[in-house]
A and B are shown apart, each in its own frame.
Chain A
Amino acid sequence: MASSTVALPRVYAERGLLSWLTTVDHKRIGILYILGAGFFALIGGLEALLIRIQLAVPNNRVLVGDAYNQVLTMHGTTMVFLVVMPVLAGLGNYVVPLMIGARDMAYPRLNAFGVWMFLLGGIFLNLSFLLGGAPDAGWFGYAPLTAKTFSRGTGIDFWILGLQLLGISSITSSINFVSTILLLRAPGLTLNRLPLFAWTTMVTSFLILFAMPSVSAALFLLFLDRHLGTHFFNPAAGGDPLLWQHLFWFFGHPEVYIMILPAMGIVSEVLPVFSRKPIFGYTAVAYSSVAIGFIGFTVWAHHMFAVGLPDVVNAFFSAASMLVAVPTAIKVFNWISTIWGGAVRYRVPFLFAAAFVALFVIGGLSGLFLASVPVDWQVTDTYFVVAHFHYTLFGGSMFAIVAGIYYWFPKITGRFLDERLGRLHFALQFIGFNLTFFPMHFLGLAGMPRRVYTYAAGLGWEGLNLLATVGAFLLALSFVVFFVNIARSLVAGERAPDDPWDGHTLEWLTSSPPPPYNFARIPVVHSRRPAWDHKYTGNPHPRPVAEAPTAQAPGGDGPEGDSEAEPIHLPAPSPWPLILAAGLTVFALGLVTHWIFIPIGLLLFALGLARWVQQPLFPEAEAHGAHS
């Protein structure tokens, strides 16, 4: 009677706003992350355009002084915490459970809490524009500029509490990723067969877990300095502004690997599929991610070469920073070797992934320059640094993210993104990006300081700045094309089959889009490329696709696969994660605006927590408890 016990998962409200507000489905949560990041990308992109408009010509008056500082700070903060991190978390949420043959993340409700915390934290941060001015001390918030003496408004408080809320989101989602990847892999999917995107997501989660608490502590100390009169970063009373820099960059440098490693994982999935070859050096790519993660914690003071640390300290951090080039270069050689000799299909995901490799190498090389103390002293706080980190974070992370979206869009929506619009998007983004940021190398070498809202005429910076601004508009246009492409495809895109790219990972073996339970039966994995095994080696095992689970399942003669003939449990939807996240956000709002929000927030928090704990994860929990 094995087949009859494969019961249909209980059906809840599957449409409408309420179903999204209470969802615990990793796929919907992933979509919420991606949509939220897309929305904040519009804001962060507009901020970037404002900056470039102001800097287009010398002595411009479009955005000056404090307004410029606010926009600059929010551009950096938004792109790091509200765009790159959440879109990577969103792709990870959507794809990783499918890749490892799981039905959901390890903690579905904590997952929902994470996405609400991100969305509300992002809204909270941006509310500052309306409530007395945005933070204006840079995304790094250097002390003592952030002290009450120098930043009297509430902007810095919005920044402190906003980052704390977003940090809670990151920590919970990281715990979830690590547990999911360690515990919920399909039978046979050993760590040595784990898809590389899952590998990098796991390493990134560890980085978040060990880096985020450092900035979280620093933000608490800063908040106490501002409101309780403590002296952590106040040099007049024995405090130490450099303590802030150490605590911040102990987080801040791993943070850049947090933003690049999953991007590298995406590229490591896309390149082999479109080169029609297995990844070259799987083990090296996986282990070099771990190496980057480890070394990433020993390089933070290279952000502080100019503050006057002892030479021996500078030398250590310089050497450690250069060491990062080794595992990174290992990856680059592996990607090139993957493409080399492959039957390459120049589809849009491949174009973006290949461009990632080229642009990231440029960013990596300028990073090597900056790792050298004497060079850093010359170009620190100039546009050379701006050029460097945009080549890694835009040329790197963002190109890979776009590659990933073109690659997984058919799986997520069941429709292709348009190939011709995609090529136009690629051309515009590639040209626009290089026009914007390549000139900044020369501007930096010519001495143009970053973070300053204008510059004088006659310094030889006019032409390149204008060029960069033109490039920024091309870049903006490329994203208009991207969004148009997405909107068109959602309505009238070409229907995509389950496996449009001839992929090799498990997500291509279920339908597009996948059913709520992902796989009717959990697939069994025999190699690093289970989908290729299935398609090309005549694998005798039952096809692990999502058939309607009420149908008569193939008889009990299959090997491992049939051990899964038990009821599919899907966690019940829950409103409490949203209530809990709302409680924390309202509480934070109370701390910066009116005290009345503090008790309201605490009440919501207590209500959400109490009801969450009381609600069983599975509605059938009591009935089926005895079986396990």
Chain B
Amino acid sequence: MASHHPAVGSEIAVDSRKLGVWIFLASEVIFFASLIVSYLVLHNRVTRGPTAHEALTLTIPTINTMILLTSSVTMVLALAHLRDGNRRASIAWLLTTAWLGICFLILKAVEYNHHLHEGLTPSVNVFGSAYYTVTGFHAAHVAVGVIWILSVALGLRRRLSPQNDVPVETVGLYWHFVDLVWVAIFMVVYLMR
């Protein structure tokens, strides 16, 4: 559509939907930075209950890291295939990406369940508060991403084309961002525990 493209006079040639997502993600950086800083400030001030070192194990989060990193690759493949004119392959890769996101969420739920059995709750101590909040907001972003990917892959199926790849590219931007946030969380919360 004409309106998605910059006017003649603009020096900046980028689709408006793409620019909008970029700006939104820049704003999201501050949101997650605020949460992660809060975690860093508070997580060692445990007065009772399990500490980060006692409660966190690396197995599930490491698998989850690999899942999310793989899902970024499948997202790139979805866009590449769409641009090559192979819509069916593109949609298959989108669905794979969404499935990997769902796997991440399932494993995250398993991990939470494990924590709860060990006595780590959001209210047991300040580490629990910060841990569930940071990872919970990230998981919510993954869930939104899964819904977004599915609505592009299933809802827009027929309209996707090499000329109309922006819906895939924008959801891809968001997905890669959510991945990156996970990498930060993996380092700050799990590796530095």
Contact = CB atoms under 8 A, between A and B. Distances in A.
A231 B9 contact: no
A221 interface: yes
Given A176-B20, A569-B3, 4 more contacts: A183-B12, A228-B123, A238-B42, A239-B126
Interface of B: 1-3, 5-12, 14, 16, 19-20, 23-24, 26-31, 34-35, 38, 41-42, 45-47, 122-123, 125-126, 128-130, 132-133, 137, 151, 155
Interface range on chain A (Cβ under 8 Å from partner): 35 or more
Contacts of A214: 30-31, 34
B47 A238 contact: yes
Interface stretch (A5-13, A46-54, A620-628): A620-628
A107 B16 CA distance: 8
Contacts of B23: 174-175, 178-179, 209
Contacts of B30: 209-211, 213-214
A217 B2 contact: no
A445 to B, nearest CB: 36
A184 interface: yes
Interface in A197-227: 209-214, 216-218, 220-221, 224-225
A210 B34 contact: no
A45 interface: no
Contacts of B47: 237-238
Nearest to A297: B30
Contacts of A231: 123, 125-126, 129
A182 to B, nearest CB: 5
Nearest to A566: B2
B133 A224 contact: yes
Contacts of B28: 213
A238 B123 contact: no
A619 B16 CA distance: 19
Contacts of A621: 1
A627 B1 CA distance: 8
Contacts of A475: none
A165 interface: no
Contacts of B151: 613
Contact of A230 (B2, B24, B31, B123): B123
Interface in A553-601: 560, 563, 566, 569, 571
A176 B19 CA distance: 10
Contacts of B14: 183
Contacts of A569: 1-3
B25 to A, nearest CB: 10
Given A179-B23, A628-B1, A217 B34 contact: yes
13 contacts: A175-B27, A179-B16, A182-B10, A184-B7, A209-B23, A213-B31, A214-B30, A224-B133, A230-B129, A231-B125, A232-B133, A243-B42, A618-B3
A239 B129 CA distance: 10
Nearest to A191: B11
A210 B33 CA distance: 11
Interface in A103-128: 106-107, 110
B16 A183 contact: yes
A566 B8 CA distance: 13
Q: Which DSSP category, helix, strand, loop or mixed, fits chain B's interface?
A: helix
Chain B CB within 10 Å, residue with most, of A102, A179, A216, A624: A179
B3 A240 contact: no
B122 A230 contact: yes
A621 B61 CA distance: 45
A188 interface: yes
B12 A182 contact: yes
Nearest to A628: B2
B9 A185 contact: yes
Given A237-B125, A238-B125, A243 B41 contact: yes
For the complex of A and B, list the 5 residue pairs with the smallest distance between their C-beta atoms, beginning with the closest.
A229-B123, A238-B45, A230-B129, A187-B9, A213-B31
Contacts of A625: 1
A209 B10 contact: no
A232 B42 contact: yes
A213 B34 contact: yes
A474 interface: no
B16 A106 contact: yes
B47 to A, nearest CB: 5
A106 B3 CA distance: 8
A228 B27 contact: no
A185 B7 contact: yes
A250 B30 CA distance: 10
Nearest to A218: B34
Contacts of A182: 6, 10, 12, 19
A183 B10 contact: yes
Contacts of A185: 7, 9-10
Contacts of A402: none
Contacts of A209: 23, 26-27, 30
Contacts of B155: 613-614
A110 B98 CA distance: 26
Nearest to A616: B1
A214 B129 CA distance: 18
Contacts of A106: 3, 16, 19-20
A230 B133 contact: yes
A231 B126 CA distance: 5
A524 B7 CA distance: 11
A186 interface: yes
Contacts of B9: 101, 185-190, 524-525
B27 A243 contact: no
Contacts of A188: 9
B31 A221 contact: no
A475 B123 CA distance: 49
Contacts of A218: 34
B19 A102 contact: no
A29 interface: no
A171 to B, nearest CB: 6
A617 B9 CA distance: 23
B2 A247 contact: no
